[in-house]
Structure 1
Amino acid sequence: MRTSFITLVVAALSAVNAQPVKRDGGVDDATVLNFALTLEHLENAFYREALAKYDEKAFEKAGFHSWVRDRFAQVGAHEAAHVQFLSSALGSQATQPCNYSFPHHDPKSFAALSQILEGVGVSAYTGAAQFISNKDYLTAAASVLATEARHASWVASTVNGGSGWSGALDIPLTLNTVYTLAASFITSCPSTNPALPVKAFPAVSFGDKPTPGSTATVTFTSTVEASTPLYAVFFTGLSQIVSPIQNGKAVIPSGLLGTVYAVVSTNDTIANDGNIIAGPAILDFPFNAQGQLITY
């Protein structure tokens, strides 16, 4: 159930609007905090709406222990606290919540989507830390990051029965790749919100059930000339693994485990916001306690 729903969510990313948000200059501390607040607003709304929809009986009917909903309520309270914390730090500059649409229909699909959102949150804070110059803000962001990582680990392992991590190192994502993933759940935002220097890339998919070592069909809307060499780049830990795209297909590298983000890039060495043209896709390769890939 967990893996199939992750595939469903990735497919939903095809609805992302690829138009860039108006840039307002460099990335300063306020911009980074507002970027973080944008994500926290999203998570706060996600938990608030879902917990209002699914009561304890719904969780028990879905096969969860009675205390699982209570833990999710604690996670939701943390996200609300993060919103208050960042809003207080930003004052009148704080971005306001948007309107959202989350593709879940029962507690199981809610839990699967929670795993995705918490994982993206961890990668977002990890990737954005480099832009923070104020050490007090950096310490605060690290504190939030640690809590988000605890959320992600608990949901993945205790609730969804998977691993609480993907490896020794987590994946940092760029501002644009994070926004691409978040934008698929945002339907509209207040026009008065501060502009963020980000854009959403077109969606990409790697077939229905991609597995490490297999050849996958890479589907996306290209924004470059047909003759431009393109590469599938797989983010795992602090590493990027590049695979050429030939005739619309790419080999998924062997040995990948856990959560992997994949993009399409025009660069054969490293993918960044300057050369990514599609993605990221979220790929999930579950593994057992012996570190072996689980196949279905």
Structure 2
Amino acid sequence: MISVALLLAAVGLTQAVPFKSALEKRQSLAQFNDVDILNYALTLEHLEDKFYREGLANFTQAQFAAAGFDATFYRYLQEIFTLASPFIVSCPSDNPTFPVRAYPKLVLTSTGPVTVGSKITVSTPGYVLAPVTGSNAPLFASFASAGGPVNAELTRMGNGMDYSITIPEGVAGLNYLRLSNCGDATHLSEDQILAGPVVVEITKA
């Protein structure tokens, strides 16, 4: 039923902007025009929306695991939605509730190149983070990098929303930074993630 609905939605979207002619094989990228690109983008956006609002709501984390997916797969969808949520300006009032929620927003506030050993500052605008083990318990920065997760301790900067982090050894390239209340987990659980992710590009010194 869902597949049929998605197919009909895709067909409907192709009518949003008329094609000049029937579909035909392109010989080069120069043969794609603005109409082609717009229709393609609209179709992708609609299918993604359908997936999050309808497809994902029909399955649980246990069902994903039973189907052979890694145990963390379902949780990662929540982090993906966190990255996408700033681009969602508004939704129709009759839209169903998303089956995943966004974590508190995490923003990289420092500028300039980021290297191992350098300090960066991040902020959780509008959110004062409180670790579950007490107000004086440490908070951590968890870098999801190609070599596996790497953790570093956060330094509070006074107002509960701004923090500094010294980039640890073992991270390089494109990283997804999350704030957590656990400094030794190889895989963060949903209740251990406090904010993020935010993309951080770490270059060589």
Q: Which amino acid aligns with 1:272?
A: S
Larger radius of gyration: 2
Residue type matched to 2:199 in 1? I
**Pair 284,274 (structure 1): closer, same or farther in 2 beyond 3 Å:** same
Runs of 4+ more than 6 Å apart? 71-75, 84-90, 132-135
Q: Return the structure number with greater relative CO, CA threshold 8 A, min gap 6.
A: 1
Counterpart of 2:190, as a letter, is D
Measure, in 2, the Cα distance between the counterparts of 1:180 and 1:195: 15
The yes-or-no answer on 1:233 pairing with 2:106 is no
* Percent identity between the two aligned chains: 24
On the 8 A contact 2:152/2:165 being kept in 1, the answer is yes
Query: Which residue does the alignment assign to 1:188?
Result: 90
CA RMSD of aligned residues (A): 4.5
Q: What is the correspondence of 1:1-296 to structure 2 with a 5 Å cutoff?
A: 70=32, 78-82=40-44, 131=64, 174-206=76-108, 207-209=110-112, 210-220=114-124, 221-224=127-130, 226-237=135-146, 239-247=148-156, 248-270=163-185, 271-285=188-202, 293=204
Q: SS at 2:83's partner residue?
A: helix
- Given the two structures, how large is their TM-score scaled by the length of structure 1? 0.42
Instruction: Check conservation: 2:64, 2:74, Cα contact below 8 A.
Output: no
Question: 1:174, 1:272 within 8 Å by CA — same for their partners in 2?
Answer: no
Quote the Cα distance in structure 2 between the aligned partners of 1:181 and 1:87: 14
1:281 alignment partner AA: V
CA deviation after TM superposition for structure 1 residue 233, in Å: 0.3
Q: Is there any run of 5+ residues in structure 2 with no aligned partner, and where?
A: 17-28, 157-162
Counterpart residue type for residue 222 of structure 1: V
Classify 1:190/1:226 alpha carbon distance in 2 versus 1 (closer, same or farther; 3 Å): same
Structure 2: distance between partners of 1:172 and 1:237? 19
Q: Give the TM-score of the pair, scaled to structure 2.
A: 0.57
Q: Deviations over 1:208-250 (max 9, x none)?
A: 2333321223322333153232000001137211101134322
Stretch deviating more after TM superposition (241-250 or 74-83): 74-83
